A and B are shown apart, each in its own frame.
Chain A
């Protein structure tokens, strides 16, 4: 089976890799690029722990092939912090206790940062809809919603 040479920009840095067709994007990120902030949760495209932003769009990286990302920009949780300053969603999750075990958090941060890029004044309903593909089994979502509202205010 042929291998493919792919080029991607990960958190603004150009990277190349030679990948098997069947390599999943999440494994490219974690095992080839060693960026382990992106988690593998259910591995069946339900839980959203593996969410990354692909060309501006949040996707479940366990259900995208690495070769499909050739030429694309990939943003992972490691890229949220800029120059030692937390992204507003990271600050929000810290301030509003938006996580307990933290396993879903990287995916939550990516989904909600993408939401706020598009809409920096979302209603509670819009926030809840945006994160409906990201499962959290600890918080009951109440504090996650507050964290996103906190971040939204910071970003306005």
Chain B
């Protein structure tokens, strides 16, 4: 399968890339790792007259902790995240998730920025950013702006990014002590999208009660789902079985999956409930709270 013809641009700076996007408007598309975009072009599900490849712009692939935030450059390959000692030891929610994304060869090309900016609710990292309370940093002709992850997803494949904006960085508040996270995904096989998946991040107070909770669901509707009611319900409560079960029930109630070969709506909602419950147990155990 061969994509429809397009012009390929390989800018060497962000400003040059933004200039190209501004000039070509909705005719242009940012090419990051290409693991979603190239299949779309090849299957002719979409076409763009101009591709702007950000893969050779320096400085977009750093993973570091600074000024209270974990920052991840948008061009960071999934494989780099997977091998990062910092991620594996300090951010288990991401450490859990990355090996479950696509397959190792796809992760060698696919990027964190692409996973987030594509706006596909089946992608795994949007729900994680919701759970972590992350901020997405975008650059456009007017400069830089920060968008909260829970303000980023507008509709299926539609994000808050303007056509001339590029997602450059993900900023995650460094979790305080006694925090833990987990990501659990039910899928049929390597490379599959989730039948259901749950991202959970918690912080436990000194007295053992839950101080903060974030819950995100993958592939549970046209946009990534933030289970805000369930998260609020948890705050201030002791993390006992009954509380966890109720939070999982509340989170699953927010899930609006569609039926497909991965299962019926009822099955997927039930799996979301089970996975949120298990992810909460795992995150709390990692937080040292139980």
Report A's interface with B, CB cutoff 8 A: 1-2, 4, 20-22, 24, 27, 43-46, 48, 51, 57-60, 62-65, 67-68, 70, 111, 129-130, 132-134
A27 closest partner in B (C-beta): B2
Are B5 and A22 neighbours in the complex by a CB distance under 8 Å? yes
Are B2 and A22 neighbours in the complex by a CB distance under 8 Å? yes
Are B34 and A46 neighbours in the complex by a CB distance under 8 Å? no
B192-222 vs A, Cβ < 8 Å mask (1 yes, 0 no): 0000000000000000000000000000000
B3-16 vs A, Cβ < 8 Å mask (1 yes, 0 no): 11111101000000
Q: Is B86 part of the contact surface with A, judged by Cβ < 8 Å?
A: no
Q: A44-B39, A45-B39 are in contact. Are A59 and B109 (CB under 8 A)?
A: yes
User: How many contacts A-B (CB < 8 Å)?
Assistant: 84
A48–B10 alpha-carbon span in the complex (Å): 26
Q: A44-B43, A65-B34 are in contact. Are A60 and B105 (CB under 8 A)?
A: yes
Q: Is B224 part of the contact surface with A, judged by Cβ < 8 Å?
A: no
B49 closest partner in A (C-beta): A1
Cβ contacts A to B, 10 pairs, < 8 Å: A2-B7, A2-B8, A20-B5, A21-B7, A45-B38, A48-B103, A48-B105, A63-B109, A130-B104, A133-B190
Are A133 and B5 neighbours in the complex by a CB distance under 8 Å? no
Interface SS of chain A: mixed
B105 closest partner in A (C-beta): A133
Give the shortest distance, in Å, between B47 (CB) and chain A (any CB): 10
Q: Is B102 part of the contact surface with A, judged by Cβ < 8 Å?
A: yes
Q: Is B256 part of the contact surface with A, judged by Cβ < 8 Å?
A: no
Q: Is B239 part of the contact surface with A, judged by Cβ < 8 Å?
A: no
Are A132 and B108 neighbours in the complex by a CB distance under 8 Å? no
A4–B4 alpha-carbon span in the complex (Å): 16
Are B8 and A57 neighbours in the complex by a CB distance under 8 Å? no
Which residues of chain A are within 8 angstroms of B38 by Cβ–Cβ distance? Answer: 45, 63-65
Which residues of chain A are within 8 angstroms of B79 by Cβ–Cβ distance? Answer: 57
Which residues of chain B are within 8 angstroms of A2 by Cβ–Cβ distance? Answer: 7-8
Which residues of chain A are within 8 angstroms of B42 by Cβ–Cβ distance? Answer: 24, 43-44, 62-63
Q: Is B180 part of the contact surface with A, judged by Cβ < 8 Å?
A: no
